Amino acid sequence: MGYGRGKPHGKDSSALHPRTESGHLTAAFDRAGTVSELCEKHQIHPTLFYQWQKSFFENGAAAFERERPRSQSLGKEQDKITRLEAKLKDRDEALAELMQEHLRLKKELGEI
């Protein structure tokens, strides 16, 4: 057959893009024909296709997503938290100044 031991186009199966893997699965469900024909067309082994199918059914599209390095996502989240905390501190300080001015004016007018 035209496929070789689960290595599409001579590449390791992990080298395929997640959308490619899910695309092959979707093609199998959306069209008439056999899994064997699909595998032959895309040069993948049927066993690999069925592994993808099992993973897809168990995990949906997330089954093929590559995880970002945790340090990258944490770094971006920490930067956002730091920016938001600074913004909140600035607003708290502005509010405190406004309240002081408000109280001073009330005292001047004899309302307190």
pLDDT tens-digit series, residues 15-25: 566 667 667 66
pTM over the 0.95 mark: no
> Do residues 41 and 75 share a domain?
no
Smallest CA-to-CA distance from 1 within 36, 35, 32 is with 36
Same domain assignment for residues 37 and 20: yes
* Residue 1 placed within a domain: no
Residues 72 and 50 in one domain: no
Structural domain includes residue 34 = yes
CB-CB contact of 40 with 3 (8 Å) = yes
What's the whole-number average pLDDT of the chain? 76
